[in-house]
Amino acid sequence: MIRIARVSMALLATSLAAPLASSGQELEPVAGRSPTDGQRVVLVTGSTGGLGREVARTLAARGDHVVVHGRSADRGMELVAEIEAGGRGSARLYLADFGSFDAVRALARAIRRDYDRLDVLVNNAGIWLQGPRQLSDDGYELHFQVNYLSSFLLTRELLPLLRRSAPSRIVHVSSAAQRPIDFDDVMLDDDYTDGRAYAQSKLAQIMFTFDLAEELAGSGVSTNAVHPASMMDTDMVLERGARVRSSVHDGVDAVMHLIDGDDLGTGGYFNQTTPTRANQQAYDERARERLRALAERLTAGR
Ligand SMILES: NC(=O)c1ccc[n+]([C@@H]2O[C@H](COP(=O)([O-])OP(=O)(O)OC[C@H]3O[C@@H](n4cnc5c(N)ncnc54)[C@H](OP(=O)(O)O)[C@@H]3O)[C@@H](O)[C@H]2O)c1
């Protein structure tokens, strides 16, 4: 069976053999191994670099099995090899472009096929692009899809596994950069700036967190959102030439707090480790309902 359905030029340049999830195809892991019995299983999206990679390293150092995800085969394989060589945790790498719902679905199918439990899902993969507005493979504004819609879809696809694994957690890596969603121009056809696109997608993640917490009440699956730290020294910030204001390790502490912390409850938004109020729109039930209906419609399989 041919496993390689679509290989981006960027990926082709770095690795000729790596399978990237695509429509209807089964996605195979690129590297790594299965967890051992009793090992906690944590999926960290966007863990081939930046904050996600440091969270993955921290989890593995504690003995966890990390499902590493991203698009870069080389960086992902490097991390898996490092984790395996570390001798404590274990890891396995899957490649899927969050600019494609087919790829997200293929990733979810692969996780359901390869794992009988998922203790923590960390929705961390994210972009803050420079330059003109870009569209996803599905035709939607790219920040909205990669940062919000794809996490929404992945989470929904993995909910049965998370429920079976309860007590389990879903952590949404959001941001203090939040901007209300204009439901008349969600894809920012009329008024695009990268800051606006990023900030509305980050608020959408928080609105999803609040909804999900209500839906999962009493299930043993908790969910919270976090602003990890401001302007960390990751590619997202460095490639813009923006002024670095914190270390990625500050962000790791904040994310690990939501993964491991006691008595956090569910349905909260944290500024690093402090429970905080999000943008007012997140508390508007009608706005959340509109957003949920939109996400369900846009991510519905064809
Ligand atoms: N940096 C900050 O100061 C800051 C502040 C607040 C919140 N955050 C949030 O923290 C999270 C991590 O950010 P970061 O600073 O670590 O960014 P980063 O260094 O750019 O890393 C982003 C990660 O997401 C993956 N990714 C990007 N586009 C993707 C796509 N289309 N499909 C699949 N994976 C994709 C990247 O992997 P590949 O390149 O391999 O695809 C990489 O692993 C984001 O959600 C961000 O919004 C960051």
* Confidence category of residue 20, pLDDT binned at 50, 70, 90: low
Number of domains in the chain: 1
Element (H, E) at 107: helix 101-114
152 within 8 A of 208, measured Cβ to Cβ: yes
Is pLDDT of 176 > 70? yes
Q: How are beta strands 90-95 and 65-70 bridged, if at all?
A: parallel
Q: How many percent of the chain have pLDDT more than 90?
A: 90
Residue entry with tokens 């790219």: 142
**What is the average pLDDT across 227-238?**
97
Sequence-distant (6+) residues with CB within 8 A of 262 are: none
DSSP label at 149? I
Q: How are beta strands 65-70 and 41-44 bridged, if at all?
A: parallel
In a domain, 128, yes or no: yes
Is pLDDT of 18 > 70? no
Rounded to whole angstroms, how far apart are CA atoms 111 and 88? 22
Is pLDDT of 3 > 50? no
Structure confidence by residue, pLDDT tens digits, 248-302: 999 999 999 999 999 999 999 999 999 999 999 999 999 999 999 999 999 997 5
Sequence-distant (6+) residues with CB within 8 A of 82 are: 57
Task: State residue 262's pLDDT score.
Answer: 95
How many CB atoms sit inside 10 A of residue 47's CB?
A: 30
Is pLDDT of 85 > 70? yes
Structure confidence by residue, pLDDT tens digits, 90-147: 999 999 999 999 999 999 999 999 999 999 999 999 999 999 999 999 999 999 999 9
Q: How far is CA 298 from the centre of its chain?
A: 18
DSSP label at 176? S
In a domain, 78, yes or no: yes
* pTM of this structure: 0.94
Beta bridge partners of 92: 32, 67
In a domain, 16, yes or no: no
Rounded to whole angstroms, how far apart are CA atoms 249 and 67? 20
Nearest-atom number in ligand 1 for the CA of 231 is: 3
In a domain, 30, yes or no: yes
In a domain, 185, yes or no: yes
Task: State residue 19's pLDDT score.
Answer: 60
Of residues 117, 290, 282, the one with CA closest to residue 213:
282
Residue 127 Cα to ligand 1 midpoint, Å, equals 5
Task: State residue 7's pLDDT score.
Answer: 29
Ligand 1 pocket by Cβ (under 6 Å): 46-52, 70-72, 75, 97-99, 124-127, 146, 173, 175, 227-228, 230-232, 234-237
| CA nearest ligand 1 atom 19, residue | 50
Active site residue 140: no
Is pLDDT of 2 > 80? no
Nearest-atom number in ligand 1 for the CA of 124 is: 45
Residue entry with tokens 């993955």: 56
**What is the average pLDDT across 169-195?**
97
| Catalytic residue from among 94, 148, 198, 269 | 198
Task: State residue 301's pLDDT score.
Answer: 78
42 within 8 A of 65, measured Cβ to Cβ: yes
In a domain, 7, yes or no: no
Residue 218 Cα to ligand 1 midpoint, Å, equals 31
**What is the average pLDDT across 237-245?**
95
- Furthest-apart CA atoms within the chain: distance in Å: 52
In a domain, 19, yes or no: no
| CA nearest ligand 1 atom 8, residue | 175
Containing structural domain, residue 171: 26-299
CATH of the domain at 83: 3.40.50.720
* Confidence category of residue 25, pLDDT binned at 50, 70, 90: confident
Average pLDDT over the chain, rounded to whole? 93
In a domain, 4, yes or no: no
Structure confidence by residue, pLDDT tens digits, 4-13: 223 233 333 3
Residue type for position 199: A
